[in-house]
């Protein structure tokens, strides 16, 4: 093949990779800001754009990771692992949406397999970038490794959240919890707090939301057709009268509405994983890692790097830092925390 043809192939290939990385980040940002519409609407222009961005982001991340790992030119070796780590982060998805429909949660095992193949691709690229270069790596390379590990963790977190949201798995966990209560004799409604005052319940949404959290196990059971044990019915009736005095149906409607909102979080977002001790740990550590990566890249020598590559990397880093801070604040401020 003539030299000019080889140069043309390398040139086109490098710009295809850049375009895929930018497209992946753009799709990720669109999903972040449109995910809230999925909670309130099933159809509409925003929902169609959200679906398209979600599908496009998943395809682009998978395709780009394979292209980075198998067809990288020598000039791209230093940035290849860094961009690969960001593609894994994008494939892991944002905190406010994991699945577009309940059927997506059934495919959580496939998500795990996709993650495995994508991780293998990035590991291969790392081998090229670090080991193949006389067995040493720059500080920039080791930052790429840290971002890569963070990408794996967030991708795994998404797949695990989808697994927990699978109704079959939820049915099994509800059944296990019910059996545990029978063995220990623990009251199923003991943690449901009584509101300090329902007198002005319209202005006291926080109280209603805390009550909804306490009753969430009952709502989960209803979603998976789990019946209430007959011997617990008197307890349920007594607690209902205590929590909702004077038969306040409007109060009850408000709590049920919030319970459905919480179930949406479980079925379609990372809430089931984010609001655990390891979920909070990830959200505290993630901004630290991404901020450190931004600073190290800022001070790292960029000799030999193209201006376009540097600008793309800055956009990826700055956007990821801002999103990580957003997810941290969202987790800390959420009523799931309390």
CA–CA separation, 86 vs 99, rounded Å? Answer: 20
**Burial class for 259, CB neighbours closer than 10 Å (0-12, 13-18, 19+):** buried
Please tell me the distance from the alpha carbon of residue 311 to that of residue 317, in angstroms, as a whole number.
Answer: 10
Nearest to 303 by CA among 168, 192, 138: 138
Tokens describing residue 258: 């919030």
- Give the pLDDT of residue 182: 62
Q: In which residue are the tokens 């081998």 written?
A: 127
pLDDT digit of tens for each residue in the chain (338 aa)? 556 666 666 666 677 788 888 998 999 999 999 988 888 877 788 888 988 888 888 788 777 776 665 555 554 566 767 888 888 888 888 998 888 888 777 777 777 777 777 777 777 766 666 555 544 456 666 777 888 889 889 988 988 898 888 888 888 777 777 666 665 555 555 555 555 554 555 556 666 777 777 777 777 877 777 666 555 555 665 556 666 665 566 777 777 888 888 889 888 999 889 888 989 999 999 999 999 989 888 887 777 777 888 899 899 999 999 999 999 999 888 777 65
SS3 content of the chain, % helix, strand, coil (to 5): 80, 0, 20
Q: How does pLDDT run across 204-229, given as a tens digit for each residue?
A: 666 677 777 777 777 787 777 766 65
pLDDT of residue 165: 86
Please return the burial class of 302, using the count of CB atoms within 10 Å of its CB with bins 0-12, 13-18 and 19+.
middle
Query: What is the per-residue pLDDT across 48-93, written as a single tens digit (0 to 9) for each?
Result: 898 888 888 878 877 777 666 555 555 456 676 788 888 888 888 8
Distance CA 313, CA 44 (A): 34
Instruction: Return the DSSP state at 134.
Output: T
How much is the pLDDT for 314? Answer: 92
CB atoms within 10 A of CB 306: 14
- Read off the tokens for 297: 């890249």
């Amino acid at each position: 093949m003539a030299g000019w043809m080889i140069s043309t192939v390398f040139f086109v290939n490098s710009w295809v990779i850049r375009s895929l990385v930018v497209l992946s980040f753009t799709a990720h940002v669109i999903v972040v800001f449109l995910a809230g519409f999925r909670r309130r609407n099933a159809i509409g222009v925003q929902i169609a754009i959200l679906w398209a961005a979600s599908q496009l982001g998943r395809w682009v991340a998978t395709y780009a990771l394979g292209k980075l790992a198998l067809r990288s030119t020598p000039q791209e070796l230093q940035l290849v692992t860094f961009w690969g780590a960001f593609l894994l982060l994008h494939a892991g998805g944002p905190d406010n949406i994991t699945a577009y429909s309940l059927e997506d949660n059934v495919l959580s095992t496939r998500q795990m397999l996709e993650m495995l193949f994508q991780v293998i691709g990035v590991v291969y690229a790392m081998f090229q970038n670090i080991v193949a270069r006389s067995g040493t790596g720059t500080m920039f390379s080791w930052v790429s490794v840290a971002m890569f590990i963070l990408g794996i963790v967030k991708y795994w977190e998404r797949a695990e959240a989808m697994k927990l949201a699978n109704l079959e798995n939820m049915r099994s966990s509800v059944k296990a919890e019910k059996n545990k209560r029978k063995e220990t004799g623990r009251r199923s409604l003991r943690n449901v707090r009584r509101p300090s005052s329902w007198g002005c319940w319209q202005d006291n949404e926080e109280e209603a939301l805390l009550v909804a959290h306490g009753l969430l196990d009952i709502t989960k059971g209803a979603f998976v057709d789990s019946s209430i044990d007959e011997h617990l019915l008197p307890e349920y009736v007594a607690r209902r009268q205590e929590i909702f005095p004077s038969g306040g149906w409007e109060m009850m409607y408000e709590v049920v509405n919030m319970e459905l909102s919480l179930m949406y979080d479980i079925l379609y977002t990372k809430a089931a994983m984010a609001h655990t001790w390891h979920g909070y740990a990830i959200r505290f550590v993630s901004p630290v890692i991404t901020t450190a990566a931004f600073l190290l890249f800022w001070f790292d020598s960029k000799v030999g790097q193209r201006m376009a590559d540097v600008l793309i990397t800055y956009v990826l880093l700055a956007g990821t830092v801002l999103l990580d801070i957003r997810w941290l604040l969202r987790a800390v401020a959420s009523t799931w925390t309390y």
